[in-house]
Amino acid sequence: MTTPHNDSLLRFMTCGSVDDGKSTLIGRLLYDTKTILADTLNNIARTSQKRGMEAVDLSLLTDGLQAEREQGITIDVAYRYFSTGTRKYIIADAPGHEQYTRNMVTAASTANLAIILIDARKGVLTQTRRHSYLAHLVGIPHIVVAVNKMDLVNYDQATYEKIKADYIAFATEIGLAQARDIKFLPMSALNGDMLVDRLDNMNWYQGETLLDILEAAPAAHSDQAEPFRFPVQFVCRPHDSANPELHDFRGFMGRVESGSIAVGDDVTVLPNGYQSKVKAIQLGNELLQSAQTEQSITLLLEDEIDTSRGDMIVKTSQAPEAVKQIEAHVCWLSETPLSPARTYIVRHTTRESKAKIGSIHYKVDVNTLEQQATSDLKMNDIARVSFKLAQPLMVDSYDKNRATGAFIVIDESSNNTVGAGMIV
Amino acid sequence: MTTKQPLSHLDWLEAEAIHILREVAGQCANPVLLFSGGKDSLCILRLAEKAFRPGRFPFPLMHIDTGHNYQEVVNFRDQRAAELGERLIVRSVEDSMKRGTVVLKTPDEPRNKHQSVTLLEAIEEFGFDCCIGGARRDEEKARAKERIMSFRDEFGQWDPKNQRPELWNLFNARVHKGENIRAFPISNWTEMDVWQYIEREKLELPSIYFAHQRDIVMRHGAIFPVNVSLPSGEVINQPKAGEEVINMQVRFRTVGDVTCTAPVISDADDVSKIVVETATTTITERGATRLDDQTSDASMEQRKKEGYF
Ligand SMILES: Nc1nc2c(ncn2[C@@H]2O[C@H](COP(=O)(O)OP(=O)(O)O)[C@@H](O)[C@H]2O)c(=O)[nH]1
Ligand SMILES: [Mg+2]
């Protein structure tokens, strides 16, 4: 039941091949948490009936575009919302066909938890490996492996245990098991077993239901104390000569991408290296003593420093490197292949730089995880690439810091976002 | 070292929206904020205050006026813009009708969909490269797939199958001349989040959001407001012969074109009662109130492809 008091927010995604039950799972979560209202349910019931289905097809809830409903597939990442009274959830549903890598990387970039679906009849497949590798690459801290369609294997415990053991073996091989928190559960998205309600088909499973796992998952994307990173988005200079208080006002506006900051802290503005102290922190009219990750604030410094969009304010003791060369895992997102001869734009935090390709070291076959030599990149390829930059960027490795380790590649002629990079 | 306590969901949504507004300001040369006087756009105004004060907003406000608005909402729109001291541009569908660029099939048909034409005309007139709007992904299925910064070509068209990938919080608002970005800072908000935010921020709203007495008829199974006086003085939504006019206590969940926005029966006369009602309702915002979205499952997608917000 939705009630007016949620204290935190969790973003998660579902991964699986076509027909593993992603949309059904999401539909079921929305339905069982009473997020779906009567008129929406009537609509999808009518559509299900028109298609000659016996039961209401909950996957119709997420397949929103005309072409998707006609073809019965999901085309683009869809975002859905539900709330349990203690938590608000944002779900990214990424489709499982050709453009999968691109969509999955997109959905994963903002997720703190991934539900990896496995069809109980099929077990760990090549696709499962691919999803797991991508979830790992994009740094999703919490993984839930959901063995779905248990109803089709008579809710058999041995089948579940076998799949779990296979997955653990594979996850250990790729380093996922060591690096991430992985949980397992059996379920039937269609019937609702182990999603919100336990039901009584699998009394041999005493672990948490899916919703229990979601409710307990930590919301912060890192539990380490990260260094303070504050990319300047916008500089506020009201130039209000009538108001002496505002005459010299110079506020640096941005979002704390990681770490925390307090009034009085010593800071450095990069790339120039000017040093100062935090004079005040504002959020709207409120004066704060300190601010933390994900807060959008305005920083006032003690000294008059010439700072503009694209600069980064950091704690003097924790300055990142300013580099003009980066090496990264890149996922190519565009139908136009990467052309090594061209100049691209790299957007990193609030900063942009022209970039040339240094070299493509290798690309990864996402199915076998083998590295292959290559001279270009096509859509859905993942490769290790080095870039030469016209402007210095203040970076951390993606492993250490998702916000300052990530960038996008923009094609200047189309202005399209053509690549996603994770700095190694 | 402070311990890491995650932000509450409202604080998180607020911080995200402020970040998006500032990205628009930082990346776009000539943005505009679409402001109707409705609850979503009133939330965005508060977010813009938090994003840019003590400075002025780095964009004007603009309303695409259908001429079919409730007087209370139009008054409120003007009052709020004046309080903020920000510039309000109004462009009206009726002017497009005079120019002949909007042609109605019937004189009193809903004008929501015609707003696209007037909006595109205004974009061209002012050379806007980005329009900030209050659409939410929970409103409708096609919207659930829309980017936070959504690209529109020279004809204002949205191509749902060819959207720019949007990763992390790295937004790409780059456009060529004539093209346009629609930015949606409250994409990730639900109707409930909006009401909770209004409650927390003590935002004022046009009076018709709260329970009030109104003449209605039942038409096609929906509550239909009748004898509505428009700002122009004209009275529309006449009851048809045989319809029984009832005076009832109602409120609006969304305020839009008078001819196609239905109120709901309610005695919620303050925000906290509305929050409770929103928690227990069984009908979606659009299902309850938009008489023009119900023609086809895909009607919103169609309108958006044609340049609608
Ligand atoms: N028997 C059974 N069928 C399921 C289950 N989950 C999903 N399905 C069915 O599998 C098909 C594909 O599901 P869908 O959710 O569209 O998969 P997606 O492609 O991953 O989104 C649909 O016909 C579902 O009804 C389950 O737990 N048990
Ligand atoms: Mg699906």
- For the ranges A15-29, A370-384, B283-297, the lowest mean pLDDT is seen at B283-297
The predicted structure's pLDDT at residue A2:
38
Rounded average pLDDT over A71-77 = 66
- DSSP tag of A153: G
pLDDT at B289 over 80: no
- Bridge partners (DSSP) of residue A21 are none
B299 touches chain A (CB under 8 A): no
**Beta-carbon contacts of residue A212 (< 8 Å; ≥ 6 apart):** none
Q: Both B43 and B117 in a single domain? A: yes
Q: Both B185 and B209 in a single domain? A: no
| B43, B54 contact by CB (below 8 A) | no
Q: How close does chain A come to B268, measured CA to CA in Å?
A: 15
B1 touches chain A (CB under 8 A): yes
Residue B4 located in a structural domain: no
**Distance (Å, whole) CA A310 – CA A394:** 10
Q: Both B66 and B181 in a single domain? A: yes
State the burial class of residue B235 (Cβ atoms within 10 Å of its Cβ: 0-12, 13-18, 19+): exposed
Q: Both B17 and B164 in a single domain? A: yes
**Beta-carbon contacts of residue A245 (< 8 Å; ≥ 6 apart):** none
- For the ranges A268-282, A400-414, B12-26, B151-165, the lowest mean pLDDT is seen at B151-165
Q: What pLDDT, in 10s, does the model give residues B16-26?
A: 999 999 999 99
Residue B199 located in a structural domain: no
Q: Using a 6 Å CB cutoff, which residues line ligand 1?
A: A 16, 18-24, 59, 74, 96, 148-149, 151-152, 188-190
pLDDT at B294 over 50: no
**Tokens standing for A45?**
């019931």
Q: How confident is the model at residue A417 (pLDDT cuts 50, 70, 90)?
A: very high
Average pLDDT, chain A: 89
**Percent of chain A having pLDDT more than 90?**
67
- For the beta sheet containing B246-251, the strands, ordered from the edge strand earlier in sequence to the opposite edge, are B222-225, B212-219, B246-251, B264-265
Cβ–Cβ below 8 Å for A65 and B142: yes
In angstroms, the first-to-last Cα distance of chain B is 45
The predicted structure's pLDDT at residue A23:
85
Q: Both B38 and B120 in a single domain? A: yes
Is the bond preceding residue B54 a cis peptide, omega within 30 degrees?
yes
Cβ pairs A/B, distance under 8 A: 205
Q: Both B136 and B41 in a single domain? A: yes
| CA A181 to ligand 1 center in whole angstroms | 26
Q: Which residue has the tokens 């040093």?
A: A275
Q: In chain B, which residues have their Cβ closer than 8 Å to the Cβ of A4? A: 192, 196, 275-276, 279
Distances (CA, A) of A422 to A52, A231, B7: 46, 18, 26
State the burial class of residue B273 (Cβ atoms within 10 Å of its Cβ: 0-12, 13-18, 19+): middle
pLDDT at A396 over 80: yes
Question: Between B283 and A410, whose confidence is greater?
Answer: A410
Q: Indicate the residue type of A390.
A: A
Nearest CA in chain B to A44: B297
Residue B2 located in a structural domain: no
Rounded average pLDDT over B270-277 = 91
Q: Given the CA of residue A191, which atom of ligand 1 is nearest to it?
A: 27
Q: What pLDDT, in 10s, does the model give residues A101-138?
A: 888 999 999 999 999 999 999 999 988 888 899 999 99
Atom 25 in ligand 1: which residue has the minimum CA distance?
A: A190
Q: What are phi and psi of A241, to 5 degrees?
A: -75, -20
The predicted structure's pLDDT at residue A84:
86
Pick the CATH number of A8-216 from 3.40.50.300, 3.40.50.10860, 3.40.50.2300, 3.40.50.1860: 3.40.50.300
Q: What pLDDT, in 10s, does the model give residues B41-56?
A: 999 999 999 999 999 9
Cβ–Cβ below 8 Å for A9 and B12: yes
The predicted structure's pLDDT at residue B1:
38
**Percent of chain A having pLDDT more than 70?**
88
B276 touches chain A (CB under 8 A): yes
The predicted structure's pLDDT at residue A251:
95
| A360, A337 contact by CB (below 8 A) | no
The predicted structure's pLDDT at residue B187:
96
Atom 23 in ligand 1: which residue has the minimum CA distance?
A: A19
The predicted structure's pLDDT at residue B110:
79
Residue B198 located in a structural domain: no
Candidates B138, B170, B180, partner chain A, best to mutate (most A CBs within 10 A): B170
A170 membership: H or E segment, kind and range: helix A157-173
| CA A26 to ligand 1 center in whole angstroms | 11
Q: In chain A, which residues have their Cβ closer than 8 Å to the Cβ of B23? A: 233, 350
- DSSP tag of A108: H
**Distance (Å, whole) CA B195 – CA B197:** 5
Among candidates B121, B125, B137, which has minimal Cα distance to B191? Answer: B137
Cβ–Cβ below 8 Å for B54 and A238: yes
| CA A18 to ligand 2 center in whole angstroms | 7
**Tokens standing for A88?**
């608000």
The predicted structure's pLDDT at residue B293:
46
Rounded average pLDDT over A240-259 = 87
The predicted structure's pLDDT at residue B296:
45
Q: Which of A59, A69, A193 to mutate to test the pocket of ligand 1 (most atoms within 8 A of CB)?
A: A59
Domain count within chain B? 2
Q: How confident is the model at residue B129 (pLDDT cuts 50, 70, 90)?
A: very high
Phi-psi region of B127 (alpha: psi -120 to 50; beta: other; left: phi over 0): left
The predicted structure's pLDDT at residue A3:
40
Q: Which of A187, A190, A194 to mutate to test the pocket of ligand 1 (most atoms within 8 A of CB)?
A: A190
Residue B96 located in a structural domain: yes
Rounded average pLDDT over B125-139 = 94
Mark out the alpha helices in chain B (DSSP H runs): 9-27, 39-52, 71-84, 93-99, 115-126, 191-201, 271-280, 285-289, 299-305
Cβ–Cβ below 8 Å for B169 and A415: no
A410 membership: H or E segment, kind and range: strand A406-410
Among candidates B175, B44, B178, B60, which has minimal Cα distance to B123? Answer: B178
Please report, for chain A, the start and end positions of each structural domain, with discontinuous segments joined by +.
8-216, 229-318, 321-423
Q: How close does chain B come to A138, measured CA to CA in Å?
A: 10
B107 touches chain A (CB under 8 A): no
Q: CATH number of the domain that B14 lies in?
A: 3.40.50.620
Atom 2 in ligand 1: which residue has the minimum CA distance?
A: A149
Atom 26 in ligand 1: which residue has the minimum CA distance?
A: A149
Cβ–Cβ below 8 Å for B6 and A219: yes
The predicted structure's pLDDT at residue A53:
67
Q: Both B228 and B114 in a single domain? A: no
Rounded average pLDDT over A32-51 = 70
Q: Both B101 and B228 in a single domain? A: no
Question: Between B276 and A6, whose confidence is greater?
Answer: B276
Residue B197 located in a structural domain: no
The predicted structure's pLDDT at residue B255:
86
Architecture per CATH, A321-423: Beta Barrel (2.40)
The predicted structure's pLDDT at residue B305:
66
Angle at alpha carbon of residue A124, lines to A119 and A130, rounded to 5° = 105
The predicted structure's pLDDT at residue B2:
43
Candidates A71, A258, A401, A415, partner chain B, best to mutate (most B CBs within 10 A): A415
Cβ–Cβ below 8 Å for A106 and B165: yes
What's the number of CA atoms in the CB half-sphere (13 Å) around residue A155?
Answer: 15
Rounded average pLDDT over B164-172 = 95
Cβ–Cβ below 8 Å for B193 and A284: no
| A199, A191 contact by CB (below 8 A) | yes
Tell me the three state secondary structure of residue A58: helix
Q: Which of A18, A19, A24 to mutate to test the pocket of ligand 1 (most atoms within 8 A of CB)?
A: A24
- For the ranges A242-246, B166-170, B290-294, the lowest mean pLDDT is seen at B290-294
Cβ–Cβ below 8 Å for B19 and A1: no
Q: Both B228 and B279 in a single domain? A: yes
Q: How confident is the model at residue B109 (pLDDT cuts 50, 70, 90)?
A: confident
Q: Both B154 and B285 in a single domain? A: no
Window 203-262 of B: residues touching A by CB (8 A cutoff) are: none
Question: Between B284 and A121, whose confidence is greater?
Answer: A121
3-state helix, strand, coil in chain A (%, to 5): 20, 35, 40
Angle at alpha carbon of residue A85, lines to B188 and A402, rounded to 5° = 45
The predicted structure's pLDDT at residue B144:
81
Nearest CA in chain B to A333: B165
pLDDT at A96 over 90: no
**Tokens standing for A239?**
């130039």
Check for a shared fold between A229-318 and A321-423.
yes
Cβ–Cβ below 8 Å for B282 and A37: yes
Tell me which residue in A43, A79, A283 faces B137 most closely, judged by beta carbons.
A79
The parent domain of residue B40 ranges over: 10-192+298-305
Residue B1 located in a structural domain: no
Nearest CA in chain B to A228: B1
Q: What pLDDT, in 10s, does the model give residues A299-355?
A: 999 999 989 999 999 999 999 989 999 999 999 999 999 999 999 999 999 999 999
B191 touches chain A (CB under 8 A): no
For the domain bounded by A229-318, which CATH number is listed?
Answer: 2.40.30.10
Q: Both B37 and B118 in a single domain? A: yes
Q: Both B174 and B54 in a single domain? A: yes
ipTM over 0.90: yes
Tell me which residue in A75, A237, A408 faces B167 most closely, judged by beta carbons.
A408
